[in-house]
Amino acid sequence: MSIFSQTSYRRIGLTGGIATGKTTVSNYLATSYQLPILDADIYARNAVSPDSFIFKNIIHHFGEKISLPDGSLDRRALGNIVFNDVTERRWLEQQIHPYVRECLREGSQDTAKTMVLVVPLLFEANMTDLCTEIWVVSCQSDLQIERLMQRDRVSRADAIGRIKAQMSLTAKCELADVVLDNSSTLDSLLKQVDRALEMGSD
């Protein structure tokens, strides 16, 4: 149950698979509707800033091989480890998720009637209670792979591995209140966003 279930506040949990178009949707909601956006990825990056306790734990656990010459986190090196080792991935998530959850919880207490919480691992991290409704951005599998390859400049095998490391899009869609299909044009996607926002404001 959402922590906002007994109020008039609307907290949209925006999630989906990797490279399906979550950022496109959140940017549109921010620019066209001026909705406040709480981005879990930003909080996760803050969690591993070089002066943070979490960062020190991560370096101690994985070693200096995941740090860059300037002392910051080498995200690509870390990603190569955790996307190929479920045990290490879960350890890392246990370090970061509690911090991210608290940031989202605090931010969502704002008086804005409608806010958007962009949380890629909304289901996996058990953060659905922070939302009053859940939107999942989905697309066809082959498109997701191609988009991820282009965005992160990874091989097809790496892209497939990263996608499989997440909860399946099918499972996420089954749990969603709204499914946004990003398999066609940008205009088609944004019209779906318009309809979803309008329906929820009735």
- Terminal alpha carbon distance of the chain: 21
Could you give phi then psi for residue 152, rounded to 5 degrees? -100, 0
Three-class SS of residue 110? coil
Mean pLDDT of 156-180: 95
* Burial grade of 53 (CB within 10 A; 0-12, 13-18, 19 or more): exposed
Mean pLDDT of 98-121: 96
Confidence grade of residue 3 (pLDDT, cut at 50, 70, 90):
low
pLDDT tens digits along 34-56: 999 999 999 999 999 999 999 99
- Per-residue pLDDT at 171 exceeds 70: yes
Whether 6 shows a pLDDT value over 50: the answer reads no
The model's confidence at residue 1, banded by pLDDT at 50, 70 and 90, is low
pLDDT band at residue 201 under the 50/70/90 scheme = low
Q: What is the pTM for the complete model shown?
A: 0.91
Q: Which domains does the chain have, with CATH numbers?
A: 10-200 (3.40.50.300)
180 bridge partner residues: 137
**pLDDT for residue 83:** 87
Average pLDDT over residues 138-162: 96
Residue-wise pLDDT tens digits, 10-23: 999 999 999 999 99
Strand partners, 38: 117
